Amino acid sequence: MVERNLVVKNKTGLHARPAASLASLCGKFKSEIRIYTEDTEINPKSVLSIMAGGVYAGTPIRLTVEGEDEEEAGAAIVELIENLVD
């Protein structure tokens, strides 16, 4: 299992365009992927789940990835989240 703690730096958080980018990327992997905030579990393969998660700029999140392509998926998702810009 890959597990990483991150802070969302994008000024609009994970809404609209960033949510679509994240869902598109996560959908390419077979692994089970979850994002956790202080009080929410998010399925990042779903744009609606991401947007409903209320992830704003400065929100700490925990990413978990488990499955056959977990290393590749984890690295790609971390890179995307750390480099999101509007």
Catalytic residue IDs:
15
Tokens of 62: 């925990």
> How many angstroms separate the Cα of 38 from the Cα of each of 30, 41, 57, 70?
26, 9, 14, 23
More reliable by pLDDT, 11 or 85 = 11
Tokens of 48: 């609606």
The answer to whether residue 84 scores a pLDDT higher than 90 is: no
Cα angle 69, 34, 62; round to 5: 105
The answer to whether residue 55 scores a pLDDT higher than 70 is: yes
What's the pTM?
A: 0.94
**Model pLDDT, residue 86:** 66
Q: Where are the chain's structural domains?
A: 2-83
> Is 2-83 in CATH node 1.10.15.40?
no
pLDDT (tens digit, 9 = 90+) per residue, 23-46? 999 999 999 999 999 999 999 999
**Averaged over 7-28, what is the pLDDT?**
95
